[in-house]
């Protein structure tokens, strides 16, 4: 979910688990739906300091594209794991 600071001053948005989101004047950020239901966030929205917009997640296609995808069983170079350096 997108959130926007509608005030002319920087604002600190208190989020669940003791976290905070800092927004400059007119700044935008993203929060989870759970955070949007947090009472301090709701109070800022009702006061008009914040504007909440709908979800920004892109819709996932339900159809098959017909292409192959890389998965755990497909061969390919490893992009993670341990980096080996030095003498072996």
Give the residue numbers spanning the domain of 17: 2-53
> Looking up tokens 């950020």, which residue turns up?
29
Q: Confirm if 5 and 24 have CB atoms less than 8 A apart.
A: yes
The number of folded domains in the chain is 1
> What tokens were used for 50?
């914040």
> What integer is the mean pLDDT of 50-76?
59
> What integer is the mean pLDDT of 65-87?
64
Residue 16 falls inside a structural domain: yes
Residue 78 falls inside a structural domain: no
Residue 68 falls inside a structural domain: no
> What tokens were used for 48?
């008009």
Give yes or no for residue 79 having a pLDDT over 80. Answer: no
Q: DSSP state, 36? A: H
User: Which tens digits make up the pLDDT trace of 10-41?
Assistant: 999 999 999 999 999 999 999 999 999 999 99
């Amino acid at each position: 979910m997108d959130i926007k600071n509608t005030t002319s001053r920087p604002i600190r948005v208190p989020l669940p688990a003791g976290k905070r989101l800092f927004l400059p004047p007119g700044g935008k950020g993203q929060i989870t739906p759970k955070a949007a239901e947090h009472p301090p966030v709701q109070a800022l929205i009702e006061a008009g300091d914040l504007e909440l917009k709908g979800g920004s997640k892109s819709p996932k296609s339900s159809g098959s594209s017909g292409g192959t995808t890389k998965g755990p069983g497909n061969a390919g170079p490893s992009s993670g794991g341990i980096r080996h350096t030095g003498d072996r």
